[in-house]
Structure 1
Amino acid sequence: MDTMNTDRALLVATGVRKVYRTGSVEVTALLDLDLLVRHGEMVGVMGPSGSGKTTLLNCLSGLDDIDGGRVVVDGHDLFAMSDAARTEHRAHSMGFVFQAFNLIPVFSAVENVELPLLLVGSQPREARRTALAMLDRVGLGHRVEHRPSEMSGGEQQRVTIARALAGRPAIVWADEPTGNLDSAMADQVMDLLVELNRDEGQTIVLVTHDSAIGARVPRLIRMHDGRLVGDVRQTVTTPAADLDVTQG
Protein backbone atom coordinates (compact mmCIF):
# COMPACT_ATOMS: atom_id res chain seq x y z
CA MET A 1 0.00 0.00 0.00
CA ASP A 2 1.04 3.58 -0.60
CA THR A 3 2.54 4.59 2.75
CA MET A 4 3.11 8.21 1.81
CA ASN A 5 1.30 11.05 3.58
CA THR A 6 -2.32 10.00 4.11
CA ASP A 7 -3.69 13.46 4.95
CA ARG A 8 -5.84 13.43 1.82
CA ALA A 9 -6.76 9.76 2.05
CA LEU A 10 -10.40 9.10 1.23
CA LEU A 11 -10.17 5.31 1.18
CA VAL A 12 -7.77 3.24 3.27
CA ALA A 13 -8.06 -0.54 3.00
CA THR A 14 -5.66 -2.75 4.97
CA GLY A 15 -5.33 -6.52 4.97
CA VAL A 16 -8.68 -7.07 3.25
CA ARG A 17 -9.59 -10.71 2.84
CA LYS A 18 -12.68 -12.17 1.18
CA VAL A 19 -13.54 -15.87 1.03
CA TYR A 20 -16.45 -17.45 -0.81
CA ARG A 21 -17.71 -20.72 0.63
CA THR A 22 -19.80 -23.40 -1.08
CA GLY A 23 -20.28 -26.34 1.24
CA SER A 24 -16.79 -27.45 2.25
CA VAL A 25 -15.13 -25.61 -0.63
CA GLU A 26 -13.47 -22.24 0.02
CA VAL A 27 -12.28 -19.84 -2.65
CA THR A 28 -10.21 -16.86 -1.57
CA ALA A 29 -11.26 -13.93 -3.74
CA LEU A 30 -9.16 -11.24 -2.00
CA LEU A 31 -5.98 -11.98 -0.08
CA ASP A 32 -4.51 -9.47 2.41
CA LEU A 33 -5.15 -6.57 0.09
CA ASP A 34 -3.97 -3.02 0.90
CA LEU A 35 -5.07 0.08 -0.99
CA LEU A 36 -5.07 3.84 -0.45
CA VAL A 37 -7.06 6.25 -2.61
CA ARG A 38 -6.81 10.00 -2.08
CA HIS A 39 -9.46 12.65 -2.56
CA GLY A 40 -9.74 13.63 -6.20
CA GLU A 41 -8.08 10.54 -7.65
CA MET A 42 -9.39 8.55 -10.60
CA VAL A 43 -8.25 4.94 -10.25
CA GLY A 44 -8.75 2.13 -12.74
CA VAL A 45 -8.71 -1.54 -11.71
CA MET A 46 -7.87 -4.10 -14.38
CA GLY A 47 -7.25 -7.81 -14.42
CA PRO A 48 -8.37 -11.05 -16.08
CA SER A 49 -11.79 -12.53 -15.46
CA GLY A 50 -11.93 -13.99 -11.96
CA SER A 51 -9.07 -11.86 -10.66
CA GLY A 52 -11.27 -10.22 -8.03
CA LYS A 53 -12.00 -6.82 -9.58
CA THR A 54 -15.72 -6.68 -8.87
CA THR A 55 -15.26 -8.37 -5.51
CA LEU A 56 -12.77 -5.63 -4.63
CA LEU A 57 -15.25 -2.91 -5.53
CA ASN A 58 -18.08 -4.61 -3.62
CA CYS A 59 -15.95 -5.05 -0.50
CA LEU A 60 -14.46 -1.56 -0.54
CA SER A 61 -17.93 -0.06 -0.87
CA GLY A 62 -19.42 -2.26 1.83
CA LEU A 63 -21.85 -4.00 -0.52
CA ASP A 64 -20.23 -7.31 0.47
CA ASP A 65 -18.90 -8.34 3.88
CA ILE A 66 -15.21 -9.11 4.32
CA ASP A 67 -13.53 -11.96 6.18
CA GLY A 68 -10.63 -9.93 7.49
CA GLY A 69 -8.99 -6.54 7.40
CA ARG A 70 -10.31 -3.01 7.61
CA VAL A 71 -11.89 -0.56 5.16
CA VAL A 72 -12.18 3.14 6.01
CA VAL A 73 -14.08 5.40 3.58
CA ASP A 74 -14.44 9.11 4.22
CA GLY A 75 -13.42 8.62 7.84
CA HIS A 76 -15.82 5.75 8.54
CA ASP A 77 -14.68 2.20 9.34
CA LEU A 78 -17.26 0.35 7.25
CA PHE A 79 -17.17 -2.99 8.99
CA ALA A 80 -17.19 -1.54 12.48
CA MET A 81 -20.62 -0.11 11.66
CA SER A 82 -24.00 -1.80 11.88
CA ASP A 83 -25.59 -2.89 8.61
CA ALA A 84 -28.08 -0.03 8.88
CA ALA A 85 -25.38 2.56 9.53
CA ARG A 86 -23.27 1.23 6.66
CA THR A 87 -26.25 1.41 4.31
CA GLU A 88 -26.92 5.00 5.36
CA HIS A 89 -23.27 5.94 4.93
CA ARG A 90 -23.28 4.40 1.47
CA ALA A 91 -26.43 6.33 0.51
CA HIS A 92 -24.89 9.67 1.54
CA SER A 93 -21.23 9.24 0.63
CA MET A 94 -21.10 6.89 -2.36
CA GLY A 95 -22.39 6.78 -5.89
CA PHE A 96 -22.57 3.68 -8.10
CA VAL A 97 -22.40 3.18 -11.86
CA PHE A 98 -22.83 -0.40 -13.08
CA GLN A 99 -22.54 -2.17 -16.42
CA ALA A 100 -26.29 -2.88 -16.26
CA PHE A 101 -27.86 0.55 -16.04
CA ASN A 102 -30.33 -0.48 -13.28
CA LEU A 103 -32.77 2.24 -14.19
CA ILE A 104 -36.45 1.92 -13.26
CA PRO A 105 -38.18 1.34 -16.63
CA VAL A 106 -41.44 3.14 -15.81
CA PHE A 107 -39.66 6.24 -14.48
CA SER A 108 -38.43 9.12 -16.61
CA ALA A 109 -34.79 10.16 -16.54
CA VAL A 110 -35.43 12.90 -14.00
CA GLU A 111 -37.47 10.58 -11.79
CA ASN A 112 -34.67 7.98 -11.84
CA VAL A 113 -32.14 10.60 -10.77
CA GLU A 114 -34.26 12.21 -8.06
CA LEU A 115 -35.42 8.97 -6.42
CA PRO A 116 -32.24 8.34 -4.36
CA LEU A 117 -32.36 11.93 -3.15
CA LEU A 118 -35.94 11.51 -1.98
CA LEU A 119 -35.01 8.28 -0.20
CA VAL A 120 -32.37 10.07 1.90
CA GLY A 121 -34.77 12.85 2.89
CA SER A 122 -34.44 15.60 0.30
CA GLN A 123 -37.50 17.76 -0.20
CA PRO A 124 -39.27 16.98 -3.51
CA ARG A 125 -38.71 20.42 -5.00
CA GLU A 126 -35.01 20.39 -4.13
CA ALA A 127 -34.61 16.81 -5.38
CA ARG A 128 -36.21 17.75 -8.69
CA ARG A 129 -34.03 20.85 -9.05
CA THR A 130 -30.86 18.84 -8.34
CA ALA A 131 -31.86 16.03 -10.70
CA LEU A 132 -32.54 18.46 -13.54
CA ALA A 133 -29.21 20.20 -12.96
CA MET A 134 -27.30 16.91 -12.99
CA LEU A 135 -29.00 15.70 -16.16
CA ASP A 136 -28.08 18.98 -17.81
CA ARG A 137 -24.51 18.54 -16.55
CA VAL A 138 -24.20 15.16 -18.29
CA GLY A 139 -25.68 16.48 -21.53
CA LEU A 140 -29.23 15.22 -21.14
CA GLY A 141 -31.13 18.40 -20.40
CA HIS A 142 -33.23 17.70 -23.49
CA ARG A 143 -34.13 14.14 -22.42
CA VAL A 144 -35.32 14.57 -18.84
CA GLU A 145 -38.85 13.29 -19.45
CA HIS A 146 -37.80 10.28 -21.53
CA ARG A 147 -37.98 6.77 -20.12
CA PRO A 148 -35.02 4.36 -20.42
CA SER A 149 -36.63 2.49 -23.34
CA GLU A 150 -36.69 5.74 -25.29
CA MET A 151 -32.97 6.37 -24.84
CA SER A 152 -29.78 4.96 -26.31
CA GLY A 153 -27.38 2.90 -24.22
CA GLY A 154 -25.02 5.83 -23.90
CA GLU A 155 -27.82 8.09 -22.76
CA GLN A 156 -29.00 5.55 -20.20
CA GLN A 157 -25.49 5.27 -18.78
CA ARG A 158 -25.28 9.04 -18.51
CA VAL A 159 -28.53 8.96 -16.53
CA THR A 160 -26.89 6.48 -14.13
CA ILE A 161 -23.89 8.80 -13.83
CA ALA A 162 -26.20 11.73 -13.07
CA ARG A 163 -27.95 9.58 -10.46
CA ALA A 164 -24.61 8.58 -8.92
CA LEU A 165 -23.47 12.20 -8.69
CA ALA A 166 -26.71 13.85 -7.62
CA GLY A 167 -26.04 13.38 -3.91
CA ARG A 168 -22.52 14.86 -4.17
CA PRO A 169 -20.84 11.62 -3.05
CA ALA A 170 -17.33 11.46 -1.70
CA ILE A 171 -16.56 8.59 -4.07
CA VAL A 172 -18.10 7.03 -7.16
CA TRP A 173 -17.66 3.31 -7.82
CA ALA A 174 -17.96 2.34 -11.50
CA ASP A 175 -18.08 -1.38 -12.37
CA GLU A 176 -17.50 -1.89 -16.11
CA PRO A 177 -19.44 1.31 -16.89
CA THR A 178 -18.80 0.97 -20.64
CA GLY A 179 -19.27 -2.80 -20.85
CA ASN A 180 -22.68 -2.62 -22.55
CA LEU A 181 -21.78 0.17 -24.96
CA ASP A 182 -20.27 0.29 -28.43
CA SER A 183 -16.88 1.93 -28.75
CA ALA A 184 -18.20 5.38 -29.72
CA MET A 185 -20.63 5.52 -26.80
CA ALA A 186 -17.97 4.08 -24.47
CA ASP A 187 -15.64 6.92 -25.45
CA GLN A 188 -18.33 9.49 -24.69
CA VAL A 189 -19.05 8.00 -21.26
CA MET A 190 -15.35 7.91 -20.44
CA ASP A 191 -14.96 11.49 -21.65
CA LEU A 192 -17.62 12.47 -19.14
CA LEU A 193 -16.07 10.54 -16.24
CA VAL A 194 -12.60 11.91 -16.99
CA GLU A 195 -14.00 15.44 -17.20
CA LEU A 196 -15.86 15.09 -13.89
CA ASN A 197 -12.67 13.92 -12.21
CA ARG A 198 -10.41 16.49 -13.85
CA ASP A 199 -12.62 19.56 -13.61
CA GLU A 200 -14.65 18.89 -10.46
CA GLY A 201 -12.30 16.69 -8.46
CA GLN A 202 -14.74 13.79 -8.25
CA THR A 203 -13.04 10.71 -6.81
CA ILE A 204 -13.74 7.69 -9.02
CA VAL A 205 -12.71 4.04 -8.74
CA LEU A 206 -13.42 2.26 -12.01
CA VAL A 207 -13.28 -1.46 -12.79
CA THR A 208 -12.69 -2.43 -16.42
CA HIS A 209 -11.41 -5.27 -18.57
CA ASP A 210 -10.85 -2.92 -21.52
CA SER A 211 -7.24 -1.82 -22.01
CA ALA A 212 -8.38 1.26 -23.96
CA ILE A 213 -10.42 2.37 -20.95
CA GLY A 214 -7.56 1.51 -18.60
CA ALA A 215 -5.24 3.73 -20.61
CA ARG A 216 -7.42 6.75 -19.84
CA VAL A 217 -7.13 6.77 -16.05
CA PRO A 218 -4.30 8.60 -14.25
CA ARG A 219 -3.67 5.67 -11.90
CA LEU A 220 -4.02 2.04 -12.93
CA ILE A 221 -4.10 -0.92 -10.56
CA ARG A 222 -3.77 -4.47 -11.84
CA MET A 223 -5.13 -7.54 -10.08
CA HIS A 224 -4.40 -11.24 -10.36
CA ASP A 225 -5.81 -14.04 -8.20
CA GLY A 226 -7.16 -11.65 -5.58
CA ARG A 227 -3.95 -9.69 -5.19
CA LEU A 228 -2.79 -6.29 -6.36
CA VAL A 229 0.13 -6.95 -8.71
CA GLY A 230 0.60 -3.48 -10.18
CA ASP A 231 -0.03 0.14 -9.27
CA VAL A 232 1.22 2.75 -11.74
CA ARG A 233 0.70 6.44 -12.47
CA GLN A 234 0.01 7.16 -16.12
CA THR A 235 0.32 10.18 -18.34
CA VAL A 236 -3.11 10.53 -19.86
CA THR A 237 -3.75 12.50 -23.01
CA THR A 238 -7.22 13.90 -23.62
CA PRO A 239 -8.72 12.38 -26.78
CA ALA A 240 -10.91 14.08 -29.32
CA ALA A 241 -11.21 17.30 -27.29
CA ASP A 242 -14.07 16.46 -24.96
CA LEU A 243 -16.69 15.07 -27.31
CA ASP A 244 -20.11 16.69 -27.36
CA VAL A 245 -21.98 14.44 -24.92
CA THR A 246 -25.35 15.54 -26.24
CA GLN A 247 -24.87 13.21 -29.18
CA GLY A 248 -25.67 9.49 -29.09
Structure 2
Amino acid sequence: MEDMNADQGLLVATGVRKVYRTGSVEVTALLDLDLVVRHGEMVAVMGPSGSGKTTLLNCLSGLDDIDAGRVEVDGHDLFAMSDATRTEHRAHTMGFVFQAFNLIPVFSAVENVELPLLLVGTQPREARRRALEMLDRVGLGHRVEHRPSELSGGEQQRVTIARALAGRPAIVWADEPTGNLDSAMADQVMDLLCELNQDEGQTIVLVTHDSAIGARVPRLIRMHDGQLVDDVRQTVTARTPIPDAPLG
Protein backbone atom coordinates (compact mmCIF):
# COMPACT_ATOMS: atom_id res chain seq x y z
CA MET A 1 0.00 0.00 0.00
CA GLU A 2 0.96 3.64 -0.35
CA ASP A 3 3.23 5.21 2.26
CA MET A 4 0.86 7.68 3.90
CA ASN A 5 3.77 9.82 5.04
CA ALA A 6 5.53 10.04 1.68
CA ASP A 7 3.30 12.80 0.30
CA GLN A 8 0.17 14.42 1.63
CA GLY A 9 -1.34 14.06 -1.81
CA LEU A 10 -4.38 15.55 -3.50
CA LEU A 11 -6.65 12.93 -1.94
CA VAL A 12 -5.89 11.50 1.49
CA ALA A 13 -8.30 8.97 3.00
CA THR A 14 -7.61 7.55 6.44
CA GLY A 15 -9.53 4.83 8.26
CA VAL A 16 -12.64 5.25 6.11
CA ARG A 17 -15.55 3.04 7.11
CA LYS A 18 -18.98 2.84 5.50
CA VAL A 19 -21.83 0.74 6.89
CA TYR A 20 -25.21 0.22 5.24
CA ARG A 21 -28.09 -0.52 7.58
CA THR A 22 -31.43 -2.10 6.72
CA GLY A 23 -33.49 -2.63 9.85
CA SER A 24 -31.33 -4.71 12.18
CA VAL A 25 -29.00 -5.83 9.38
CA GLU A 26 -25.64 -4.11 8.92
CA VAL A 27 -23.34 -4.53 5.94
CA THR A 28 -19.85 -3.04 6.08
CA ALA A 29 -19.12 -1.73 2.59
CA LEU A 30 -15.76 -0.10 3.41
CA LEU A 31 -13.55 -1.28 6.27
CA ASP A 32 -10.92 1.10 7.72
CA LEU A 33 -9.63 2.05 4.29
CA ASP A 34 -6.48 4.14 3.74
CA LEU A 35 -5.59 5.67 0.36
CA VAL A 36 -3.46 8.47 -1.05
CA VAL A 37 -3.83 9.77 -4.60
CA ARG A 38 -1.25 12.33 -5.68
CA HIS A 39 -1.62 15.22 -8.08
CA GLY A 40 -1.49 14.04 -11.69
CA GLU A 41 -2.08 10.36 -10.97
CA MET A 42 -4.44 8.14 -12.93
CA VAL A 43 -5.77 5.30 -10.79
CA ALA A 44 -8.06 2.39 -11.69
CA VAL A 45 -10.10 0.60 -9.02
CA MET A 46 -11.11 -2.98 -9.80
CA GLY A 47 -12.77 -5.82 -7.91
CA PRO A 48 -15.67 -8.25 -8.08
CA SER A 49 -19.28 -7.10 -7.91
CA GLY A 50 -20.10 -6.02 -4.36
CA SER A 51 -16.47 -5.41 -3.40
CA GLY A 52 -17.12 -1.73 -2.67
CA LYS A 53 -15.75 0.00 -5.78
CA THR A 54 -18.60 2.43 -6.37
CA THR A 55 -19.08 2.96 -2.63
CA LEU A 56 -15.40 3.91 -2.45
CA LEU A 57 -15.83 6.49 -5.21
CA ASN A 58 -19.00 7.91 -3.65
CA CYS A 59 -17.45 8.20 -0.18
CA LEU A 60 -14.13 9.66 -1.32
CA SER A 61 -15.94 12.28 -3.40
CA GLY A 62 -18.33 13.14 -0.57
CA LEU A 63 -21.44 12.03 -2.45
CA ASP A 64 -22.13 9.58 0.40
CA ASP A 65 -21.50 10.07 4.11
CA ILE A 66 -19.02 7.87 5.96
CA ASP A 67 -19.34 6.24 9.39
CA ALA A 68 -15.73 6.71 10.47
CA GLY A 69 -12.45 8.06 9.19
CA ARG A 70 -11.31 11.17 7.37
CA VAL A 71 -11.22 12.22 3.71
CA GLU A 72 -9.24 15.24 2.55
CA VAL A 73 -9.41 16.54 -1.01
CA ASP A 74 -7.13 19.39 -2.00
CA GLY A 75 -6.34 19.98 1.67
CA HIS A 76 -9.94 20.17 2.87
CA ASP A 77 -11.61 17.66 5.19
CA LEU A 78 -14.84 16.81 3.35
CA PHE A 79 -16.74 15.55 6.36
CA ALA A 80 -15.84 18.47 8.60
CA MET A 81 -17.91 20.60 6.24
CA SER A 82 -21.63 21.21 6.29
CA ASP A 83 -23.58 19.52 3.51
CA ALA A 84 -23.93 22.82 1.66
CA THR A 85 -20.22 23.63 1.91
CA ARG A 86 -19.27 20.12 0.82
CA THR A 87 -21.56 20.41 -2.20
CA GLU A 88 -19.98 23.73 -3.13
CA HIS A 89 -16.46 22.34 -2.65
CA ARG A 90 -17.32 19.36 -4.84
CA ALA A 91 -18.71 21.62 -7.57
CA HIS A 92 -15.47 23.62 -7.70
CA THR A 93 -12.86 20.87 -7.30
CA MET A 94 -14.34 17.68 -8.78
CA GLY A 95 -15.68 16.40 -12.07
CA PHE A 96 -17.76 13.27 -12.57
CA VAL A 97 -18.12 10.82 -15.46
CA PHE A 98 -20.69 8.06 -15.02
CA GLN A 99 -21.72 4.97 -16.97
CA ALA A 100 -25.16 6.55 -17.47
CA PHE A 101 -24.34 9.73 -19.34
CA ASN A 102 -26.84 11.85 -17.33
CA LEU A 103 -27.20 14.42 -20.10
CA ILE A 104 -30.28 16.65 -20.27
CA PRO A 105 -32.15 15.46 -23.40
CA VAL A 106 -33.56 18.84 -24.43
CA PHE A 107 -30.19 20.61 -24.13
CA SER A 108 -27.54 20.72 -26.83
CA ALA A 109 -24.04 19.41 -26.17
CA VAL A 110 -22.73 22.89 -25.40
CA GLU A 111 -25.66 23.65 -23.10
CA ASN A 112 -25.08 20.41 -21.19
CA VAL A 113 -21.42 21.29 -20.70
CA GLU A 114 -21.96 24.92 -19.67
CA LEU A 115 -24.82 24.25 -17.22
CA PRO A 116 -22.63 23.23 -14.23
CA LEU A 117 -20.50 26.33 -14.78
CA LEU A 118 -23.55 28.56 -14.73
CA LEU A 119 -24.76 26.89 -11.54
CA VAL A 120 -21.55 27.85 -9.70
CA GLY A 121 -21.76 31.46 -10.83
CA THR A 122 -19.62 31.58 -13.96
CA GLN A 123 -20.64 34.42 -16.24
CA PRO A 124 -22.64 33.16 -19.24
CA ARG A 125 -20.15 34.33 -21.87
CA GLU A 126 -17.25 32.69 -20.02
CA ALA A 127 -19.25 29.51 -19.44
CA ARG A 128 -20.04 29.27 -23.15
CA ARG A 129 -16.40 29.91 -24.10
CA ARG A 130 -15.13 27.20 -21.78
CA ALA A 131 -17.82 24.74 -22.88
CA LEU A 132 -16.94 25.23 -26.55
CA GLU A 133 -13.25 24.95 -25.76
CA MET A 134 -13.71 21.63 -23.94
CA LEU A 135 -15.99 20.16 -26.60
CA ASP A 136 -13.35 20.99 -29.18
CA ARG A 137 -10.72 19.42 -26.91
CA VAL A 138 -12.65 16.12 -26.83
CA GLY A 139 -13.14 16.10 -30.59
CA LEU A 140 -16.73 17.37 -30.74
CA GLY A 141 -16.23 20.91 -31.96
CA HIS A 142 -18.44 20.10 -34.94
CA ARG A 143 -21.29 18.66 -32.80
CA VAL A 144 -21.83 21.38 -30.22
CA GLU A 145 -25.43 22.16 -31.21
CA HIS A 146 -26.54 18.52 -31.34
CA ARG A 147 -28.79 17.09 -28.64
CA PRO A 148 -27.93 13.78 -26.92
CA SER A 149 -30.40 11.82 -29.08
CA GLU A 150 -28.46 12.98 -32.14
CA LEU A 151 -25.13 11.71 -30.78
CA SER A 152 -23.67 8.22 -30.61
CA GLY A 153 -22.91 6.61 -27.26
CA GLY A 154 -19.23 7.44 -27.61
CA GLU A 155 -20.02 11.04 -28.46
CA GLN A 156 -22.36 11.35 -25.49
CA GLN A 157 -19.63 10.07 -23.18
CA ARG A 158 -17.25 12.63 -24.66
CA VAL A 159 -19.79 15.33 -23.80
CA THR A 160 -19.83 14.08 -20.19
CA ILE A 161 -16.04 14.21 -20.10
CA ALA A 162 -16.09 17.77 -21.44
CA ARG A 163 -18.69 18.63 -18.79
CA ALA A 164 -16.51 17.10 -16.06
CA LEU A 165 -13.44 19.04 -17.20
CA ALA A 166 -14.97 22.42 -18.04
CA GLY A 167 -14.83 23.49 -14.39
CA ARG A 168 -11.07 22.75 -14.30
CA PRO A 169 -11.41 20.26 -11.43
CA ALA A 170 -8.58 19.08 -9.24
CA ILE A 171 -9.81 15.49 -9.61
CA VAL A 172 -12.12 13.61 -11.97
CA TRP A 173 -14.07 10.58 -10.74
CA ALA A 174 -15.18 8.11 -13.41
CA ASP A 175 -17.53 5.23 -12.52
CA GLU A 176 -17.50 2.59 -15.29
CA PRO A 177 -17.00 5.31 -17.94
CA THR A 178 -16.92 2.74 -20.78
CA GLY A 179 -19.61 0.43 -19.40
CA ASN A 180 -22.27 1.44 -21.95
CA LEU A 181 -19.92 1.48 -24.94
CA ASP A 182 -18.78 -1.12 -27.45
CA SER A 183 -15.09 -1.99 -27.49
CA ALA A 184 -14.12 0.46 -30.25
CA MET A 185 -15.86 3.39 -28.56
CA ALA A 186 -14.48 2.31 -25.17
CA ASP A 187 -10.96 2.42 -26.60
CA GLN A 188 -11.54 5.93 -27.91
CA VAL A 189 -12.85 7.17 -24.57
CA MET A 190 -9.89 5.61 -22.75
CA ASP A 191 -7.51 7.15 -25.29
CA LEU A 192 -8.97 10.53 -24.38
CA LEU A 193 -8.80 9.99 -20.60
CA CYS A 194 -5.21 8.74 -20.82
CA GLU A 195 -4.25 11.70 -23.02
CA LEU A 196 -5.79 14.17 -20.58
CA ASN A 197 -3.85 12.55 -17.75
CA GLN A 198 -0.52 12.25 -19.56
CA ASP A 199 -0.49 15.53 -21.47
CA GLU A 200 -2.34 17.82 -19.08
CA GLY A 201 -1.70 16.18 -15.70
CA GLN A 202 -5.40 15.70 -14.94
CA THR A 203 -5.87 13.55 -11.83
CA ILE A 204 -8.34 10.76 -12.59
CA VAL A 205 -9.74 7.96 -10.42
CA LEU A 206 -11.85 5.46 -12.34
CA VAL A 207 -13.81 2.39 -11.36
CA THR A 208 -13.95 -0.44 -13.89
CA HIS A 209 -14.74 -4.15 -14.10
CA ASP A 210 -12.88 -4.43 -17.43
CA SER A 211 -9.37 -5.85 -17.09
CA ALA A 212 -8.40 -4.38 -20.48
CA ILE A 213 -9.24 -0.91 -19.15
CA GLY A 214 -7.39 -1.58 -15.90
CA ALA A 215 -4.30 -2.61 -17.85
CA ARG A 216 -4.12 0.82 -19.48
CA VAL A 217 -3.85 2.74 -16.20
CA PRO A 218 -0.50 3.37 -14.46
CA ARG A 219 -1.77 2.53 -10.97
CA LEU A 220 -4.18 -0.33 -10.31
CA ILE A 221 -5.99 -0.88 -7.01
CA ARG A 222 -7.96 -4.06 -6.33
CA MET A 223 -10.74 -4.32 -3.78
CA HIS A 224 -12.37 -7.25 -2.01
CA ASP A 225 -15.03 -7.13 0.70
CA GLY A 226 -14.61 -3.41 1.25
CA GLN A 227 -10.83 -3.47 1.62
CA LEU A 228 -7.90 -2.61 -0.61
CA VAL A 229 -6.09 -5.88 -1.23
CA ASP A 230 -3.61 -4.79 -3.90
CA ASP A 231 -2.07 -1.49 -5.02
CA VAL A 232 0.46 -1.76 -7.85
CA ARG A 233 2.25 0.44 -10.35
CA GLN A 234 2.08 -0.77 -13.92
CA THR A 235 4.15 -0.16 -17.01
CA VAL A 236 1.62 0.98 -19.57
CA THR A 237 2.28 0.65 -23.28
CA ALA A 238 0.53 3.22 -25.41
CA ARG A 239 -2.18 1.80 -27.64
CA THR A 240 -1.71 2.32 -31.37
CA PRO A 241 -4.85 4.08 -32.65
CA ILE A 242 -6.65 2.69 -35.66
CA PRO A 243 -5.78 5.00 -38.59
CA ASP A 244 -8.57 7.35 -39.60
CA ALA A 245 -10.93 5.80 -37.05
CA PRO A 246 -14.08 7.95 -36.81
CA LEU A 247 -14.91 9.48 -33.48
CA GLY A 248 -17.49 7.44 -31.58
TM-score for the superposition, normalised by structure 2 = 0.96
Residue 240 of structure 1 and its aligned partner are, at CA, apart by 5.2
CA offset digits 1:88-112 (Å, max 9, x no partner): 0000000000000000000000000
Tell whether the 8 Å contact from 1:191 to 1:242 is kept in structure 2 after alignment: no
Tell whether the 8 Å contact from 1:62 to 1:78 is kept in structure 2 after alignment: yes
Whole-angstrom distance in 2 between the partners of 1:244 and 1:15? 45
Whole-angstrom distance in 1 between the partners of 2:148 and 2:246? 21
Moved over 6 A (4+): 241-244
Whole-angstrom distance in 2 between the partners of 1:177 and 1:45? 12
Whole-angstrom distance in 1 between the partners of 2:116 and 2:92? 10
Change (3 A) 1:242 1:80: farther
Change (3 A) 1:224 1:242: farther
Residue 153 of structure 1 and its aligned partner are, at CA, apart by 0.2
Tell whether the 8 Å contact from 2:95 to 2:172 is kept in structure 1 after alignment: yes
Whole-angstrom distance in 1 between the partners of 2:176 and 2:132? 25
User: 3-state DSSP class of the match of 1:243?
Assistant: coil
CA offset digits 1:156-195 (Å, max 9, x no partner): 0000000000000000000000000000000000000000
CA offset digits 1:120-147 (Å, max 9, x no partner): 0000000000000000000000000000
Change (3 A) 1:5 1:167: same
Whole-angstrom distance in 2 between the partners of 1:64 and 1:241? 43
TM-score for the superposition, normalised by structure 1 = 0.96
Whole-angstrom distance in 2 between the partners of 1:86 and 1:41? 23
Change (3 A) 1:219 1:72: same
Residue 239 of structure 1 and its aligned partner are, at CA, apart by 5.8
User: 3-state DSSP class of the match of 2:10?
Assistant: strand
Residue 243 of structure 1 and its aligned partner are, at CA, apart by 6.4
Change (3 A) 1:224 1:138: same
Residue 3 of structure 1 and its aligned partner are, at CA, apart by 1.8
- CA RMSD in angstroms comes to 1.5
Gaps of 5+ in 1: none
Change (3 A) 1:192 1:117: same
> Which position in structure 1 is the counterpart of 2:131?
131
Whole-angstrom distance in 2 between the partners of 1:142 and 1:63? 34
User: 3-state DSSP class of the match of 1:56?
Assistant: helix
How many residue pairs match? The answer is 246
Q: Percent identity?
A: 90
CA offset digits 1:180-232 (Å, max 9, x no partner): 00000000000000000000000000000000000000000000000000000
> Which position in structure 1 is the counterpart of 2:41?
41
> Which position in structure 1 is the counterpart of 2:106?
106
Residue 4 of structure 1 and its aligned partner are, at CA, apart by 5.7
Residue 151 of structure 1 and its aligned partner are, at CA, apart by 0.2
Residue 2 of structure 1 and its aligned partner are, at CA, apart by 1.6
